[in-house]
A and B are shown apart, each in its own frame.
Chain A
Amino acid sequence: GQNIDQPTEMTATEGAIVQINCTYQTSGFNGLFWYQQHAGEAPTFLSYNVLDGLEEKGRFSSFLSRSKGYSYLLLKELQMKDSASYLCAVRDYPSYKLSFGAGTTVTVRA
């Protein structure tokens, strides 16, 4: 199975940058995903990485190092609406099971 660790909470100022780290251990790897979840709502997909390196999508970027079992999500130019929980998830191969970390709650302050 997977063991996925990410920080519980982070706080940052509007307009700043925040980096959320995620480490994982898995027997079979079929991609690492980042989701955003506002309280009481469904997770929404942000990004995925299957190969090493950086994937950029507007204000959000995600990085993966498979050899280190490490990923990060970078949120730039933070806005108040970015206050949410960010979930790191790893998909296993061949089961396709998606396992989640406990989530990082990001609070953006004015």
Chain B
Amino acid sequence: EAQVTQNPRYLITVTGKKLTVTCSQNMNHEYMSWYRQDPGLGLRQIYYSMNVEVTDKGDVPEGYKVSRKEKRNFPLILESPSPNQTSLYFCASTLTGGVTEAFFGQGTRLTVV
């Protein structure tokens, strides 16, 4: 089954404790991205990757890091989480070339206290 898998689904952590949210897709998609979703603000792109070893900042990259060592994986790293990073996070992947939809992971609800 074609899917994007994120883990964990829920996470409560303390300020400053490094964490990683994993994302994996099995569709051989080149393009992957991370979004955060906050009430009234919609989905905002954090980082994206056009292919292996190619990553770039989205609209709200401060406080986040990513890596793309393999095509299928695109982890999101919070080196020193702060309470303003409490949000619902989504990973997405899509084919480039042609007009194709983005597939989303199940979401990760992160709370930083």
Contacts and interface: CB of A to CB of B under 8 A. Distances in A.
Interface of A: 1, 30-31, 33, 40-45, 48, 50, 87, 89, 91, 96-103
Given A42-B107, A96-B94, A48 B40 contact: no
26 contacts: A1-B59, A30-B99, A33-B101, A40-B107, A41-B106, A41-B107, A42-B104, A42-B106, A43-B43, A45-B101, A45-B102, A45-B103, A48-B101, A87-B42, A96-B31, A96-B94, A96-B96, A98-B33, A98-B45, A98-B94, A100-B35, A100-B42, A100-B44, A102-B40, A102-B41, A103-B42
Interface in B9-39: 31, 33, 35
A97 B58 contact: yes
Contacts of A33: 101-102
Interface of B: 31, 33, 35, 40-45, 48, 50, 58-59, 88, 90, 92, 94, 96, 99, 101-107, 109
Contact of A42 (B41, B58, B90): B90
B96 A100 contact: no
Contacts of A44: 104
Nearest to A43: B104
B96 A42 contact: no
Contacts, number: 53
B88 A40 contact: yes
A50 B41 CA distance: 25
Interface residues of chain B: helix, strand, loop or mixed (majority)? strand
A99 B41 CA distance: 12
B101 A96 contact: no
Given A31-B99, A50-B99, 10 more contacts: A30-B99, A41-B106, A42-B90, A42-B106, A42-B107, A43-B90, A97-B58, A98-B45, A98-B102, A103-B42
Going nearest first, the 8 A-B pairs with the smallest beta carbon separation are: A102-B42, A31-B99, A42-B104, A45-B101, A100-B43, A50-B99, A100-B42, A43-B104
B112 to A, nearest CB: 18
